[in-house]
């Protein structure tokens, strides 16, 4: 019998595996997806973005998505729409395919309710831990996962135990300098964006070679701080880690005394197997973690494992906000600046957090705001080319199409911003088991309700409007933006929120299930609120924190 069995292998799982194996404990890790190695990753757009090689086939595994429209709620399967809800299924999880924007939460994110008060139709609560509890683990992520950046003082800067990041900032395009100037002209402080991408080599991992094919692509140099490259590969060297890929866990079996005794799974041949262990850690990403617990029903837990209070799957959160863009035309700049603007690969790595807290009469007092990240349009060539085939409702072909494509790639670049605000947890956003649809193993698929709070959209629009004059000063043309109520598939959290009250939370402050003696959940499911940044950095940090708690327990 192993000491610990971990279900999942991404940002929530890999720190636990790393720390336990380094401490001498035996760990088995079950991953539903394949084990794709560094040498197998490429920059083939048709593979990474069009064929969806790194997620399950929607004919085999899919979701039922419920969206709210003006005249009611409508459910459609992703098998029907072709718009998948997966975010990477492989050893290392979705951390293989992240862009690696690593902003920390702020101290205020841990106490939204007590700071700003309730929001209508929102289920906001304070966290049972503080920023200071998590800060040492953010720092551990900086070193072990590898975060490159430069810290500058600004009004919403969070406290840090180290003055700067352990790896220097990555190289940037001249657009970053132009953006800094435009920010100064508009009294907007532009700050460097930290990235979980190595600017210099670390052990067997190479430094970034600036392909800029980061988001949706696996890293072929291991510069990106995926759980696989940064932690699992190191854990394997201890001899204490066993990774079983293509292992789809479908049930966690208890002994009638609120204790798990085995994880049952299907192997690659669809045969049923099981792993026994002293402790179990679930980190399958928020929607799938809730689904697994809900499927693990028995007499002891008739509503699903750890769900006698009916909180599993509730208060699911995504990231609120939206995107904007402008066109940067090379003819608007001098020859040398235009040449540098054309340089591929170099990052932007700029953000502003001037409106992380908003104090405006429009909101009747201080409210939580958000983050804006700046970036070039994704370098995918096929997608950009494909989008040029229409001129209004007229289909282009031949020399006319060639001319339009040539102009697209030689005269301008699209510059973008992304707004991140809190997705307020609410009663209309949760995951349950579908009563109509099953996957290829015959298990019910996740039915995901995606209702949002209009407060999120209002905050997003407020911030997006602030960026318009910045893009005008930058010399951008065709400035446009939109705030969305749609869920962010790549940013999922909640569903098993932690808290001190067993009646209103699934996990305690150490991410152990209130109702199950030996179950921990360490992916983004634990988060009661998501903050106004991407989640992965915080998931990594909290997973390292929980690993320490598990080691303390095993050592007794």
Read off the pLDDT of residues 189-218 as tens digits, 9 standing for 90 and up: 999 999 999 999 999 999 999 998 999 999
Q: How far apart are the first and last CA of the chain?
A: 18
Give me the mean pLDDT over the 127-136 stretch. 98
Q: What is the C-alpha separation between 454 and 468, in angstroms, rounded?
A: 22
Q: What is the C-alpha separation between 420 and 468, in angstroms, rounded?
A: 16
What is the pLDDT of the chain when averaged over all its residues? Answer: 96
pLDDT of residue 482 exceeding 80, the answer is: yes
Q: What is the C-alpha separation between 521 and 530, in angstroms, rounded?
A: 16
Helices 536-554 + 14-22 axis angle, to 10:
30
Task: Report domain extents, the chain.
Answer: 2-554
Closest CA to 546 of 5, 15, 10, 94: 15
Pick the CATH number of 2-554 from 3.60.10.10, 3.50.50.60, 1.20.120.80, 3.40.50.1360: 3.50.50.60
Read off the pLDDT of residues 68-88 as tens digits, 9 standing for 90 and up: 988 899 999 999 999 999 988
**What does the block give as tokens for 73?**
């709620």
Give me the mean pLDDT over the 328-349 stretch. 97
- Residue 51 confidence (pLDDT): 67
**What are the φ and ψ backbone dihedral angles of 450, each rounded to 5 degrees?**
-120, 35
Q: Long-range contacts of range 402-411, CB-CB < 8 Å, 24 or more positions apart?
A: 408/384, 409/384, 411/329, 411/330, 411/331
Beta bridge partners of 6: 29, 281
Read off the pLDDT of residues 302-337 as tens digits, 9 standing for 90 and up: 999 999 999 999 999 999 999 999 999 999 999 999
Answer whether 169's CB lies under 8 Å from 327's CB: no
Most distant CA atoms of the chain, gap in Å? 74
Beta bridge partners of 365: 360
**What does the block give as tokens for 511?**
């991410």
**What are the φ and ψ backbone dihedral angles of 385, each rounded to 5 degrees?**
-65, -45
3-state percent breakdown (helix, strand, coil) of the chain, nearest 5 = 30, 25, 45
Q: In what order do the strands lie in the sheet with 241-244?
A: 241-244, 27-30, 2-7, 277-282, 519-521
């Amino acid at each position: 019998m192993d000491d610990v069995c971990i279900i999942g292998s991404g940002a929530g799982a890999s720190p636990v595996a790393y720390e336990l194996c380094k401490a001498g404990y035996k760990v088995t890790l079950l991953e539903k997806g394949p084990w794709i190695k560094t040498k197998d990753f490429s920059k083939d757009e048709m593979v990474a973005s069009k064929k969806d090689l790194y997620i399950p086939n929607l004919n085999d595994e899919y979701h039922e998505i419920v969206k709210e429209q003006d005249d009611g709620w409508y459910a459609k399967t992703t098998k029907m729409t072709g718009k998948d809800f997966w975010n990477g299924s492989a050893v290392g999880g979705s951390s293989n395919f992240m862009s690696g924007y690593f902003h920390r939460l702020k101290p205020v994110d841990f106490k939204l309710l007590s700071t700003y008060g309730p929001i209508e139709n929102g289920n906001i609560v304070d966290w049972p831990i503080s920023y200071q509890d998590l800060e040492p683990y953010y720092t551990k992520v900086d070193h072990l996962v590898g975060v490159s950046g430069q810290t500058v003082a600004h009004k919403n800067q969070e406290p840090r135990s180290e003055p700067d990041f352990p790896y220097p900032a990555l190289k940037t395009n001249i657009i970053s300098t132009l953006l800094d100037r435009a920010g100064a002209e508009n009294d907007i402080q532009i700050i460097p964006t930290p990235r979980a991408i190595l600017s210099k080599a670390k052990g067997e991992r190479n430094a970034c070679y600036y392909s800029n094919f980061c988001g949706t692509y696996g890293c072929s140099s291991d510069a990106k701080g995926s759980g696989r490259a940064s932690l699992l590969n190191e854990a394997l060297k201890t001899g204490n880690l066993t990774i079983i890929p293509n292992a789809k866990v479908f049930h966690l079996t208890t002994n009638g005394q609120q204790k798990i005794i085995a994880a049952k799974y299907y192997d690659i041949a669809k045969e049923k197997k099981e792993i026994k262990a002293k402790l179990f850690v679930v980190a399958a990403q928020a929607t799938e973690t809730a689904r697994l617990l809900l499927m693990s029903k028995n007499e002891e837990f008739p509503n699903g494992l750890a769900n006698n209070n009916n909180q599993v799957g509730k208060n699911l959160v995504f990231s609120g906000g939206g995107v904007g863009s402008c066109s940067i035309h090379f003819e608007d700049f001098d020859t040398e600046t235009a040449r540098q603007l054309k340089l591929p690969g170099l990052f932007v790595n700029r953000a502003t957090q001037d409106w992380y807290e908003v104090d405006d009469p429009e909101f009747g007092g201080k409210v939580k705001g958000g983050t804006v990240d700046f970036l070039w349009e994704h370098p995918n060539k096929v997608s950009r080319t494909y989008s040029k085939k229409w001129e209004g409702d007229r289909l282009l072909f031949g020399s006319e199409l060639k001319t339009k494509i040539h102009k697209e790639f030689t005269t301008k670049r699209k510059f973008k911003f992304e707004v991140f605000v809190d997705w307020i947890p609410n009663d209309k956003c949760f995951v349950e088991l579908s009563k109509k649809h099953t996957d290829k193993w015959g298990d019910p698929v996740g039915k995901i309700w995606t209702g949002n709070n209009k407060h999120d959209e209002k905050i997003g629009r407020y911030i997006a409007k602030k960026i318009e004059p910045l893009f005008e000063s930058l010399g951008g043309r065709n400035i446009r933006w939109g705030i969305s109520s749609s869920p962010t598939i790549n940013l999922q959290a909640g569903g098993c929120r932690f808290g001190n009250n067993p009646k209103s939370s699934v996990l305690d402050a150490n991410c152990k299930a209130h109702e199950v003696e030996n179950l921990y959940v360490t992916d983004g499911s634990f988060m009661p609120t998501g903050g106004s940044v991407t989640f992965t950095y915080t998931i990594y940090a909290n997973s390292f924190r929980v690993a320490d708690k598990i080691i303390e327990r095993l050592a007794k």
